[in-house]
Amino acid sequence: QDMQEKEPITPERAEEVKLKAKYPSLGQKPGGSDFLMKRLQKGQKYFDSGDYNMAKAKMKNKQLPSAGPDKNLVTGDHIPTPQDLPQRKSSLVTSKLAG
């Protein structure tokens, strides 16, 4: 919105214009709550303790023999561990149960 003005634009404002041009959906609040919420959510990972323990137990035993003719097909062979799961994107609306 500053591009029409004749007066010199500050370097900071120029950078803001650049950013808004790249990410038009960037929120109105500068910095704001969503960035703070993400900061508080750091470390959040979701996994299934059953899957985790199954994976640990499997590693202790020998490798399971692959059944069937197609030995290269791997279906459901990989049990997710905490390290594998992608970090859940935090929702902007916090559940009232949280915190």
Partner 1 sequence: ADIISTVEFNYSGDLLATGDKGGRVVIFQREQENKSRPHSRGEYNVYSTFQSHEPEFDYLKSLEIEEKINKIRWLPQQNAAHFLLSTNDKTIKLWKISERDKRAEGYNLKDEDGRLRDPFRITALRVPVLKPMDLMVEASPRRIFANAHTYHINSISVNSDHETYLSADDLRINLWHLEITDRSFNIVDIKPANMEELTEVITAAEFHPHHCNVFVYSSSKGTIRLCDMRSSALCDRHSKFFEEPEDPSSRSFFSEIISSISDVKFSHSGRYMMTRDYLSVKVWDLNMENRPVETYQVHEYLRSKLCSLYENDCIFDKFECCWNGSDSAIMTGSYNNFFRMFDRNTRRDVTLEASRESSKPRALLKPRKVCTGGKRKKDEISVDSLDFNKKILHTAWHPMENIIAVAATNNLYIFQDKIN
CB of 61: closest distance to partner 1 in angstroms? 23
Q: Which of residues 50-79 bind partner 1 (CB under 8 A)?
A: none
C-alpha torsion sign, points 18, 19, 23, 29: negative
10, 53, 66, 91: residue in contact with partner 1 (rule CB under 8 A): 10
User: What would you measure as the largest C-alpha separation in the chain, in angstroms?
Assistant: 75
Of 40 and 66, which CB lies nearer to partner 1 in the complex structure?
A: 40
- 74's tokens: 């791997």
Task: Return the residue of 67, 73, 74, 93 that touches partner 1, per CB under 8 A.
Answer: 93
